[in-house]
Amino acid sequence: MKILSAEFVTSAAQSGQFPRDGRPQIAFSGRSNVGKSSIINALLHRRNLVKTSATPGKTQLINFFLINEGLYFVDLPGYGYARAPQAVTDAWAPMIEGYLKGASRLSAVVVLLDCRREPDDRDRLLISWLRQYDIPAIYALTKADKLNRQESEHARREIAKALGLPAPLPLTSVKSGQGIRELLAEIVKSIRNTDDRGQRTG
């Protein structure tokens, strides 16, 4: 997929505000600071389309980006930021579950996991929702450049094992570019599968 255009469309908290024009959507999820916004920029070859931050908890609404006028990339709020206000923490689960249930034509959710961290409860909750609502998941480990080869090979097996997923999980890095093209290929494949199955709910 060649990226011809990518533009911010809207921020939303509730299903009434989500785009409903029938274009397929790909959502990006994962804990705060895992690198959701960075990987969206890398996939789109944009430096700053999506705001990234060294301070976790930056993205607290669901942000929709229209790509090639044909599909949406959806940046979901992160979780697990210890210093987030309680109201933000409380809002996370209903907001994300509401999106997963209410999104129209959700082709897949890209589940990002930091290669240096053990998965936590909310990673597991998210994955259980994807199964419950029958939403295809694309798994990727982020920040592979932070580990040496042996450590990263270990991580892609251990994290898969901890979550009961097929090993090894794919490694990505926005610094080195590792795995970014392959991730885009997986995304394109999932959009084709949605087309074949017809419209998902919505």
Question: Would you give the binding string for ligand GTP spanning residues 58-87, x where CB under 6 A is met?
Answer: xx------------------x---------
Contact range with ligand GTP by CB under 6 A, out of 52-60, 155-163, 179-187, 190-198: 52-60
Contact between 76 and 93 under an 8 Å Cβ cutoff? The reply is no
**Going by C-beta distance under 8 Å and a sequence separation of 6 or more, which residues neighbour residue 35?**
52, 112, 114, 142, 143, 174
**Going by C-beta distance under 8 Å and a sequence separation of 6 or more, which residues neighbour residue 171?**
115, 140, 141, 144, 152, 155, 156, 178, 179
The residue from 107, 142, 190, 194 that contacts ligand GTP (CB under 6 A) is: 142
Q: By CB under 6 A, is residue 34 in contact with ligand GTP?
A: yes
Contact between 97 and 83 under an 8 Å Cβ cutoff? The reply is no
Total residues contacting Mg ion by CB under 5 A comes to 3
Contact between 198 and 105 under an 8 Å Cβ cutoff? The reply is no
The residue from 157, 175, 192, 197 that contacts ligand GTP (CB under 6 A) is: 175
Sign of CA dihedral 62, 175, 112, 103: positive
Binding-site partner at residue 197 among ligand GTP, Mg ion, none, CB < 5 to 8 Å by type: none
Which residues contribute to the site for Mg ion (CB under 5 A)?
36-37, 59
Q: Using CB under 6 A as the criterion, which residues of the chain lie in contact with ligand GTP when the complex forms? A: 30, 32-38, 52-54, 56-59, 78, 142-143, 145-146, 173-175
